[in-house]
Structure 1
Amino acid sequence: MALPLALSSQDVIGQARTGTGKTYAFGIPMLQRIGKPRKNRKKPRGLVVVPTRELALQVTEDLVAAGGKLGSRVLSVYGGRAYEPQVEALKTGVDVVVGTPGRLLDLVKQKHLDLGQTAMLVLDEADRMLDLGFLPDIERIIKLIPAERQTMLFSATMPGEIVSLARKYLNRPTHVRAESTQSEGEAKPDIAQHVWRVHRMDKIEIVGRMLQADGRGLTMVFCETKRACDMVAEQLETRGFAAAPVHGDLGQGQREQALRAFKNGKIDVLVATDVAARGIDIDDVTHVVNYDCPQDEKAYVHRIGRTGRAGRTGIAVTFVEWEELTRWKVINGALNLAFAEPVETYSTSPHVFTELSIPEGTKGVLPHAQRSRAGLAAERIEDLGETGRSRGRRRDEREERETRPRRDRQRRRTRGGRLDETAAGTPATEVLSTPASPAPEPEVSLDKRRTRASDDATLLDQPEATQPGSADGAAPTRRARTRRTTGAAVDAVSTALPEAATFQPQLPEVEHAEPRPEAERIVPASPFMVIFQSPDLATDDDEIAPSAATERAAQRRRPPQHPRRPRRS
């Protein structure tokens, strides 16, 4: 219906269901009017503005396929890719440019793209392009295009306020609706829809069992947030399914890698946000899962429209949590669906197996014998010269970091902080030694040494002459402080170690007037517990500090002192 109007250079507002070929409705007239490419014509004659990068790729592929005989030069420009290839293609000459608003304006600002000869302008997914987010950019682009042009708007959903706003930019447009007598935006009858009220913790188990249904092909799972996409994709991979996420936090190379792997069948589950809900046309998509309830009826229509395209059949399953019931009722009323009260469903509910043709006894984990997909790693990732910072971390780098072995550093520390380099390859044992001096070191208190229970018992059984800090001034005995190592704990004392394995740093001697009193050791009843009694360091000359209450009472008893007035002369 739109082809005769578009070929006659009339402005058109086209509305049709998803999967009915809206791209060819404006692509064929555009390529036909532009004709074969000419060497002296380098500026684009046609411009297609799309909201997402994935849709730009999809439209470009369709236009290249439609203009294969004519040899039309079609270029897609969008963010995330390097500028240089796009600039070189514009210098060589193009006929049609397909791009997102941001990159188009960047190229115009850098004077690489000239829209002065554009004769046809198309806004694909116009309801998304003319909302408050894209409207300022669209107005700037329209001002760069000559007033004598043909403008066409196409979308599956076209609210009344968007139509009124679009008439501002169109010249006597014709509104073409390829609809039946059913309500606007109603889902197609060849999609079997299931709406279930589920618990959040049981969603992944239902999805795991649904992915093992009879006759299932490719499946798209839509989540509300980017973090939810990563979580669902990771859990499905853990259960044995070939899945990959697609969202805005991934680099453009990773997003295109996931889409290519999905189209080529290397993965069969694509977990995405609404960036993949519009315009993505992939064959053999049999199931669509709304893991999170859509925000409105337009998002619901575009999500489930990824299946059942071009006369095929599909299955759409929507999960609604208890707190999302109000939102779903609004969607259900706007689309005139029969799911005002979703059925309470669990992964063990019988209707899950019967309605989705799932074999009885199926669990949420894919058996090893059925894991035949190559996976995302089998698809090569292209070096696109991505601009900006890639916030998504590549999966191979993450796996390499998780499986990287740790180095076991075995070294020996001493009191001075120096390392014993001769102890390489020996168990990690720390040796604490003191110089043989009659005067005890004030900084070293060997009584506070942390030892094992066996060492404590040995220390208590030693005679008084061998105890550290004894009155006769005998040299203290070296002891070893051990730590746990891989295999078994090493318990040893320095007296049992050979002299070659003991490292004694030469510490400077410190003169002291008189040694500090040592704590008196109390032998406990149990040999596995050591109790220390701190010495009384107070003297008779020490004064007791007054309390705060005593100071305040003394201050109140003092007479107030007023400043003296100067005498008059």
Structure 2
Amino acid sequence: MLLNSQLTTSIHPGDLCVCAPTGSGKTLAYVLPILHHLLQKRMRKLRCLIILPTRDLVQQVYKVVEKYAKGTSLKFTSCTGQTSFEAEQKLLVSFNKVTGAYESLVDIVVATPGRLLDHLGSTRGFTLQYLRFLVLDEADRLFYESYYDWLSKTLKSIYSADEPFREEPVVLTPAFIQIPTLPLQKLVFSATLTPNPQKLSALRLQFPKFITAATYEKFVTPEKLKEYKIVCSTLEKPLVLVYLLQKLNFKNVLCFTSSVESTHRLFLLLKLFGGISVAEYSSLLPQKTKEHVLEAFKCNQIDVLVCSDSMARGMDLENVEKVICFDAPFHMKANFYYCYILLFLLLL
């Protein structure tokens, strides 16, 4: 094969799939290396996109990025729909009247899939053509929700046909020769990474490496977890719960229900019983209210936090002492999911 000055050997850095339990430091595992890499870049371009399934997780990861990027020249923002669309646009791009072109105002964006698609479709000058890192955190949950085919639309935007320096590789070997392209590294993180090849294939991974810090044995209880079960009728469940909370003086409790409606109903019921400092946490609450509730729980101002599955994955609460599964789960995916048990009490 003939070579000239325009051709070079292209070796992809390799995509990563990481499976590790919640609380094991997954966020820092990608935030710190990415920040270190981006500090070497002098021109401001959107080079890192972090996608998470919920607003709460976006805010949690954003705070980590904010903490460790403080004092550097890196700029970052979050896109969740919590603020107006126009306000987010002003933080993402600006129009340079001198050059007559749009310029990125950020190096890193942390976003939900839905809001990302909104900006890709409606924000002029917002582009993923310079993207170096695409991070999918809580990937299983992202795959579970279609979000209007967000993944294929995101990849299509990255590998746009009118950007010749960003071509999606077809054949990748160390000896593959092509016009120099900007490599995109995909980093996939999850506590329960899907084994479904069909969903993983949609990512179009290149030279993927799989890293795990979790065991693959099914239904294994963590060593420091003490587990108890109480079998009772549906009508007796609220009374049993109140007994545990009042008579046994349970504090710092997370109580999971099966739906948003069940969360609100149980919250009102516990409030009517009295003698218990209780709050609810679900997707129906405004973002500011949820942040206030979490802060109050962390400060031991709330004894019991009744929550839906929005709290089930990825959220970081340090002072939880007990976890109660009030409703029986629909699927046996976690090691403490058992059929026909109506109330679980997990003592940490």
| Superposition TM-score tier, normalisation by shorter sequence | 0.7 to 0.9
- The reply on whether 1:171 has 2:206 as its aligned counterpart is yes
d(CA) in 2 for partners of 1:345, 1:97: 40
Provide closer, same or farther for how the CA distance between residues 211 and 150 of structure 1 changes in structure 2, counting only shifts above 3 A: same
- What's the CA shift string for 1:326-364, capped at 9, x where partnerless? xx33xxxxxxxxxxx85x989xxxxx9xx97xxxxxxxx
CA distance in 1, matches of 2:343, 2:315: 30
Give the structure 2 partner of residue 144 of structure 1.
157
Q: Which residue of 2 aligns with 1:11?
A: 15
Residue in 2 that maps onto 1:127: 140
Offset at residue 260 of structure 1 (A): 3.0
Residue of structure 1 equivalent to 2:263: 229
Higher relative contact order (CA 8 A, sep 6+): 2
Partner SS for 1:176: strand
Q: Match for 2:142: what amino acid? A: M
| Mapped contact 1:49–1:123 kept (Cα < 8 A) | yes
Residue 554 of structure 1: aligned partner? none
Residues 268 and 70 of structure 1, relative CA distance in 2, 3 Å threshold: farther
The alignment-based identity, stated in percent, is: 28
What secondary structure is seen at the aligned counterpart in 2 of 1:195?
Answer: strand
Residue correspondence of structure 1 range 541-556 to structure 2 within 5 A: none
Q: Distance in 1 between matches of 2:41 and 2:228?
A: 49
Distance 1:267 1:53 in 2: 22
Task: Kindly report the root-mean-square deviation, in angstroms, between the aligned alpha carbons of the 2 structures.
Answer: 2.9
SS of 2:149's equivalent? helix
Identify which of 108, 114, 130 aligns with 1:96.
108
Mark the CA change 1:166 to 1:86 in structure 2 (over 3 Å): closer, same or farther.
Answer: same
Gaps of at least 5 residues in structure 2 are: 1-11, 95-104, 160-167, 169-182
* TM-superposed deviation, 1:166: 1.4
The answer to whether residue 276 in structure 2 is matched with residue 241 in structure 1 is: yes
8 Å contact from structure 2 (residues 246, 275) kept in 1:
no
Partner of 1:446: none
What is the Cα deviation at residue 156 of structure 1?
0.9
Q: Is the 8 A contact 1:126 1:153 kept in 2?
A: yes
Match for residue 70 of structure 2 among 65, 68, 85: 68
SS class of match (1:281): coil
Equivalent-residue separation in structure 1 for 2:259 and 2:33 (angstroms): 38
Distance in structure 1 (CA, Å) of the matches to 2:293 and 2:118: 27
TM-score with structure 2 setting the length: 0.77
CA distance in structure 2 between the partners assigned to 1:65 and 1:126 by the alignment: 23
Structure 1 residues 205 and 166 mapped into 2: Cα distance closer, same or farther (>3 Å)? same
The alignment partner of 2:188 has SS state of strand
Shift of residue 188, structure 1, vs aligned partner: 2.2
CA distance, structure 1, for counterparts of residue 248 and residue 73 of structure 2: 43
Q: Which residue, 180, 188, 191 being the options, matches 1:156?
A: 191
- Mapping 1:251-270, distance limit 5 Å: 251-270=286-305
Encode CA deviations 1:496-522: one digit per residue, 9 max, x unaligned.
xxxxxxxxxxxxxxxxxxxxxxxxxxx
- Unaligned 5+ residue runs, structure 1? 1-7, 305-317, 319-327, 330-340, 347-351, 357-569
Contact 1:11-1:150 within 8 A present in 2 as well: yes
Q: For the Cα contact (< 8 Å) 1:64–1:72, is it kept in 2?
A: no
Conserved in 2, the CA contact under 8 Å of 1:157 and 1:185?
no
Counterpart AA for 2:47: R
Deviates more, 1:265-274 or 1:148-157: 265-274
Paired with 2:108 and 2:151, the residues of 1 have a C-alpha distance of 18
Q: Is the 8 A contact 1:57 1:76 kept in 2?
A: yes
1:49, 1:124 within 8 Å by CA — same for their partners in 2?
yes
Map of 2:85 onto structure 1: 83
Q: Deviations over 1:242-276 (max 9, x none)?
A: 22222223333333332333233332322111111
2:46 is the counterpart of 1:44: yes
**Residue 26 of structure 1 is aligned with which of 21, 25, 30?**
30
Picking from 287, 296, 321, the partner of 1:286 is 321
Q: How many residues align?
A: 301
Match of 1:498 in 2: none
**CA deviation after TM superposition for structure 1 residue 279, in Å:** 0.9
C-alpha distance in structure 1 between counterparts of 2:89 and 2:286, whole Å: 21
CA distances 1:182-204 after superposition (whole Å, capped 9, x unpaired): 51574422221223222222222
SS in 2 for 1:211: helix
- How much does 1:210 deviate? 2.5
The Cα offsets for residues 443-502 of structure 1, whole Å up to 9 and x where unpaired, read as: xxxxxxxxxxxxxxxxxxxxxxxxxxxxxxxxxxxxxxxxxxxxxxxxxxxxxxxxxxxx
Query: 2:331 is matched with which residue: 296, 301, 309?
Result: 296
Give the C-alpha shift of residue 55 in structure 1: 0.9
Question: CA separation of 1:345/1:227 partners in 2, compared to 1, >3 Å: closer, same or farther?
Answer: closer
- The CA distance in 2 between the partners of 1:222 and 1:280, in whole Å, is 13
Q: Secondary structure at the match of 2:229?
A: strand
1:164 to partner: Cα distance: 4.7
- Give the 3 Å change call, closer, same or farther, for CA 37–76 of structure 1 in structure 2: farther
Task: Verify the 8 A CA contact 1:16 1:156 in the aligned structure 2.
Answer: yes
Which amino acid is 1:65 matched to? K
Residue type at the aligned position of 2:20: A
Query: More displaced, 184-193 or 271-280?
Result: 184-193
Letter in 2 for 1:282: L
Equivalent residues of 1:58, 1:279 under 8 A apart: no
1:34-55 deviation digits (Å, cap 9, x = unpaired) = 11675x51x3210111111111
* 1:116 maps onto 2:129 in alignment: yes
Larger Rg: 1
Runs of 4 or more, structure 1, over 6 Å off, are none
CA–CA distance in structure 2, aligned partners of residues 88 and 268 of structure 1? 41
